[in-house]
Chain A
Amino acid sequence: MAGFMSRRDLTLFVGFAAIVLLLPILAAPFGAAYPDLLQRFMIFGIFALGFNILFGLTGYLSFGHAAFFGVGSYAAMWSFKLLSLNALPAIIFAVAIAGVFALVIGYVSLRRSGIYFSILTLAFAQMCYSLAYSVLTPITNGETGLRMASSDPRVLDRLFFDAPAGVPVPSLFGMSLSGWNGFYFSAVFLLATFLLAMRITNSPFGMMLKGIKSNQNRMNYTGFNTRPYTLTAFVISGMLAGLAGALLVVTDPLAGAERMQWTASGEVVLMTILGGVGTLVGPVIGAWLIKYFENIFSSFNDNVLSSFFSFLPDGAREVAVTIAGKFVGEGWHLSLGLLFVLIVVFLPGGIMEGARRIGARFGRPRNGSRVGRQRELSPTAAE
């Protein structure tokens, strides 16, 4: 396995990159090809990929990742307010701060495993949320959310030029990062995260993490101190959550406390499980699916439904609209819940397991899936 990555990984990465960059065209038939949603696809893809490095590889189920996401958002916003409108310092700052938070929270939480670890992370996250929501309002502006103002100091920018007129918006060396620019900017980070996740999964470090997942006691008995490994994984995934939070502020400059709530932590768990825990592409697909439901299903109102069912006669149409109306609009959670139940019951490995089964059914002669599984089990050549 010489070189930077195996051919199989390269194909996977190129395929993934092509799909991501083609999304503005591919998502059009689904009504999802507008910058804001695609930006969210990228951002929550990063969030889920980062979460999967912890949950998918080590098996530690964190219920508090939204805290790092929110911390990243607030840190990026403060960088915009105090330092510069340039997105790069904001992202670096946000990732660093999220890393510090992850180090502290991880150091404490990782002393326990299993359900106790989950509860500890949940407790920390809820603490962060309450602090942001009502205690630290001078820093976070509470429920109203933190925004930029034209009167902010922005010392780095002021060194080079005077404050421009109008509403300040995040930029990349003068290029505005709203709309499609924001999408491509986030897409670059998603691809980089994907590459990183792939490298970690295939590295000796990744093997170690998988070992921890399959049997931590055995790892301990063979003489490994597992805690530094789990802590590293925790910090990496926390930093990626911070990166995602920062990107959300870059593309949509408002940092609200809701994104730290436990529902947001639960959402990333759902994304990962829905797509397939421990797989590379799975968490991203799960994130896209949930964001799609949240943004598109919730937008179907009775008008949209009745035009959808317009082929039915009058009485039947109203019945159909009433029934379908419970599952879309503000009832989109219901359809998502049903989908989740179906997937967990019939495809415990998530959507990726479904894809694998379909692949096996239609008998690919190269039986790539089995090769892949073997490769996962056997130590890699690099080791």
Chain B
Amino acid sequence: MSELKRGISRRNVLRTGLAGIIATGVSPLVFSRGAWAQEFCNNPTGSTVTFGLNLPLTGAYAEEGADEQKAYELAIKHLNGEGDGGLLNVLKPSALKGNGILGKKVQYVSSDSQTKSDVARAGATRMIERDGAIMITGGSSSGEAIAVQSLCQELGVIFMAGLTHSNDTTGKDKRRYGFRHFFNAYQSGIAIAPVLGEAYGKDRRAYHLTADYTWGWTQEESIKNATEALGWQTVQTVRTPLGAGDFSQFLTPVLNSGADVLILNHYGNDMVNSLTQAVQFGMRDKQVNGKQFEIVVPLFSELMAKGAGENIKGIFGTSNWHWNLPDEGSKAFTKSFGAAYGSPPSQAAHTAYVQALLYADACERAGTFYPPQVIKALEGFEFDGMGNGKTLYRAADHQCMKSVLVVRGNEKPTSQFDVLNVVKEIDRETANYDPAIFGGELGAAEPVPQCR
């Protein structure tokens, strides 16, 4: 015992301990110095390049996330020259060769964002820091998209947003490293207001139920402004928590408020639940102010329409894209998606697929993965053939400008997928707006931040 004690005297413990602490403190700095040698974050040096898919596989938007994942897997197959090539054949102009990106085979890593901003950021950081993702893409909630977008700006990695509809994503929270193909709430307002005016008249009183986060807020604002310009009044706007599940406490006051239109600024499972409950309350059979009570869902998709079943029939909304559009691009995408998974793609799947292709194409045109060059290639890029007609990636706010669809729940569906009718296609000029109205600042592309 005593010998042992002498062997490890306190001084020795202290000395070796301190030496150890200093050595270990310094060594990672030595290791990480190598990181500065690469000119930008996750420069792919091998024969592969990695996409980071950040998808909500659980939570209120899980179904959209699952559909996006299928679309990304399909896009990566097509980029690598497997399968039928999908939209690679119809994108104009296209620099894609079907041999990966810049000759490197595309692979992916994924993370479940749980429809939570915190988790989405942790997942994206992991994919960038550990898995070496060159680009982050995906997401089905604007909260996530905005959180991840600002993270990507800090780390110097390009973010190709998935389904995000908030005005803030390319408005006050826009970022140089973030790009959005999906349309936004403001454009929904432009598109849907004339149709609503035609169908329901100029003298209506609207009651809003709104998902309580950035997307809900901006959509409520946009739709409120658009309908008020029409002559409608807004009775009340009520915020509901995201993923609430039960909306009966919010629906009960609606009928006594004197409103004759209920506007549901909900998405995903939330919209399926709130609409179903509203219909169960008998709202669609009521007469208020001598008019038929109506429900409007400003943004909806075929996944939600399928979830809501009977209840969606005759309800107006807007969509980014629909699988039964007649153009070549839509047909080609629906065909290869259907062949792979046995169901037509949703608008979430479409925007995800297109974003993956656009990133790859921009890298090919830039001839490098260096983010500032890729950003330059994407900014102001005009293309066609992806299912939305002629589309422009606007340089001022990184928002894709393209046509917007007004859709309506199909009264007589011929199959379980035939749930929506396209009522009207609003062209790009009409859906256009001045990027300055939302403020915000893109920030600089260079110097490229170092991610480690």
Q: Mark B119-158, 1 if CB is under 8 A from A, else 0.
A: 1011101110111000000000011001100110111000
Cβ of B332 to closest chain A Cβ, rounded Å: 26
**12 A-B pairs whose Cβ atoms sit less than 8 Å apart in the complex:** A25-B28, A31-B130, A33-B130, A35-B129, A145-B143, A150-B441, A165-B444, A178-B154, A256-B116, A295-B123, A329-B112, A330-B58
A330 x B57 contact (CB < 8 A):
yes
Cβ of A326 to closest chain B Cβ, rounded Å: 13
Q: Looking at the complex, which of B19-27, B179-187, B303-311, B351-359 is the stretch in contact with chain A?
A: B19-27
Extra contacts, 11 of them, besides A25-B24, A143-B242, A252-B125 (Cβ < 8 A), are A18-B21, A21-B25, A142-B213, A143-B143, A147-B147, A147-B150, A179-B450, A254-B151, A258-B116, A298-B123, A299-B111
| B451 interfacial contact with A, CB 8 Å | yes
Smallest Cβ-Cβ distance to A24: which chain B residue = B28
Q: How long is the Cα–Cα vector from A306 to B109 in the complex, in angstroms? A: 14
Interface residues of B (CB under 8 A from A): 10, 13-14, 17, 20-21, 24-25, 27-29, 31-32, 57-58, 108-112, 116-119, 121-123, 125-127, 129-131, 142-143, 146-147, 150-151, 153-155, 173, 212-214, 239, 241-242, 441, 443-444, 450-452
Q: Chain A contacts of B17 at CB under 8 A?
A: 14, 17-18
| A81 interfacial contact with B, CB 8 Å | no
Q: Mark A166-181, 1 if CB is under 8 A from B, else 0.
A: 1101000000001110
Interface residues of A (CB under 8 A from B): 7, 10-11, 14, 17-18, 21-22, 24-25, 31, 33-37, 40, 133-134, 137, 142-145, 147, 150, 165-167, 169, 178-180, 184, 252, 254, 256, 258-259, 295, 298-299, 301, 303, 329-330
Smallest Cβ-Cβ distance to A187: which chain B residue = B25
Q: How long is the Cα–Cα vector from A152 to B438 in the complex, in angstroms? A: 18
B126 x A10 contact (CB < 8 A):
no
Q: B118 contacts which of A150, A184, A256, A295 (Cβ < 8 Å)?
A: A256
Q: Chain B contacts of A295 at CB under 8 A?
A: 122-123, 126
Contact status of A180 and B109, CB under 8 A, knowing A18-B20, A167-B153, A254-B147: no
Cβ of A34 to closest chain B Cβ, rounded Å: 4
Q: How long is the Cα–Cα vector from A147 to B151 in the complex, in angstroms? A: 10
A144 x B150 contact (CB < 8 A):
no
Q: How long is the Cα–Cα vector from A17 to B14 in the complex, in angstroms? A: 12
Cβ of B204 to closest chain A Cβ, rounded Å: 27
Q: How long is the Cα–Cα vector from A59 to B17 in the complex, in angstroms? A: 34
Q: Chain A contacts of B147 at CB under 8 A?
A: 144-145, 147, 254, 256
Cβ of A369 to closest chain B Cβ, rounded Å: 17
Contact status of A180 and B452, CB under 8 A, knowing A17-B17, A137-B212, A143-B242: yes
Smallest Cβ-Cβ distance to A145: which chain B residue = B117
Q: Chain A contacts of B14 at CB under 8 A?
A: 10, 14
Among A36, A143, A258, which residue has the most Cβ atoms of chain B within 10 A?
Answer: A143
Q: How long is the Cα–Cα vector from A329 to B62 in the complex, in angstroms? A: 14
Main secondary structure of the interface of A (DSSP, over half): helix
A142 x B441 contact (CB < 8 A):
no
B112 x A330 contact (CB < 8 A):
yes
Q: How long is the Cα–Cα vector from A208 to B450 in the complex, in angstroms? A: 50
Among A142, A144, A295, which residue has the most Cβ atoms of chain B within 10 A?
Answer: A144
Q: How long is the Cα–Cα vector from A25 to B25 in the complex, in angstroms? A: 11
Contact status of A143 and B213, CB under 8 A, knowing A18-B17, A133-B241, A167-B153: yes
Q: Chain B contacts of A303 at CB under 8 A?
A: 108
Q: How long is the Cα–Cα vector from A183 to B171 in the complex, in angstroms? A: 33
Q: How long is the Cα–Cα vector from A147 to B118 in the complex, in angstroms? A: 12
Q: Chain B contacts of A147 at CB under 8 A?
A: 146-147, 150, 173
Cβ of A117 to closest chain B Cβ, rounded Å: 27
Q: Chain A contacts of B108 at CB under 8 A?
A: 303
Among B14, B17, B127, which residue has the most Cβ atoms of chain A within 10 A?
Answer: B17
Q: How long is the Cα–Cα vector from A36 to B154 in the complex, in angstroms? A: 14
A144 x B116 contact (CB < 8 A):
no
B212 x A254 contact (CB < 8 A):
no
Q: How long is the Cα–Cα vector from A220 to B243 in the complex, in angstroms? A: 47
For the complex of A and B, the 7 pairs showing the least CB-CB separation, nearest first, are A143-B213, A34-B130, A36-B125, A34-B129, A14-B17, A144-B214, A21-B24
Q: B28 contacts which of A10, A166, A180 (Cβ < 8 Å)?
A: A180
Q: B119 contacts which of A7, A24, A31, A258 (Cβ < 8 Å)?
A: A258
A145 x B154 contact (CB < 8 A):
no
B13 x A166 contact (CB < 8 A):
no
Q: B154 contacts which of A167, A256, A258, A329 (Cβ < 8 Å)?
A: A167
Q: Chain B contacts of A256 at CB under 8 A?
A: 116-118, 147
A17 x B21 contact (CB < 8 A):
yes
Q: Chain A contacts of B123 at CB under 8 A?
A: 295, 298-299
Contact status of A329 and B57, CB under 8 A, knowing A21-B21, A35-B452: yes
Q: How long is the Cα–Cα vector from A34 to B124 in the complex, in angstroms? A: 12
Cβ of B130 to closest chain A Cβ, rounded Å: 4
Q: Chain A contacts of B155 at CB under 8 A?
A: 178
A298 x B111 contact (CB < 8 A):
yes
